[in-house]
Amino acid sequence: MYTVGFFYVSGIVFWAFILWKAGALIGYIITASVIKAVEVYRYCRRFRVNGEFKYSRLRCLKAATKRFFSAMWSG
C-alpha cells in the first residue's frame, strides 16, 4: 500500500519539477525576446532622419540581430 502511495507522490513531484523547469524556460524565452525587441528599437532609433526611419525595420532587425549574436559569441 505504501509503495503505491510513494510512486504516486514521486510521480506528482516529478511532473511538478518538469512543469516548473518548462515554465522557467518559457519565461526566460519571453524575457529575452522582450529585451531583444527593446534593444532593436534602441538600435534603430539611432538611424532616424527627421523622425523617419532611414532604413527599413527588417534591415534594422537584421543588423541588430547580427550585432547581438556576434556579442554573444565573443563574450
**How far apart (Å, rounded) are the C-alpha atoms in residues 72 and 66?**
10
- Do residues 43 and 60 make contact, with C-beta atoms less than 8 angstroms apart? yes
**How far apart (Å, rounded) are the C-alpha atoms in residues 63 and 44?**
9
pLDDT given for residue 75 in this prediction: 47
Q: Is the pTM of this model over 0.85?
A: no
Sequence spans of domains, the chain: 2-74
- Residue spans of beta strands (DSSP E) within the chain: 48-49, 52-53
Comparing 25-34, 36-45, 48-57, which segment has the lowest mean pLDDT? 48-57
pLDDT tens-place string over residues 4-40: 677 788 888 888 888 888 888 888 888 887 777 777 7
Reply yes or no on whether the pLDDT at 48 is more than 80: no
Angle (CA) 42-24-8 rounded to 5° is: 170
More confident residue, 46 or 75: 46
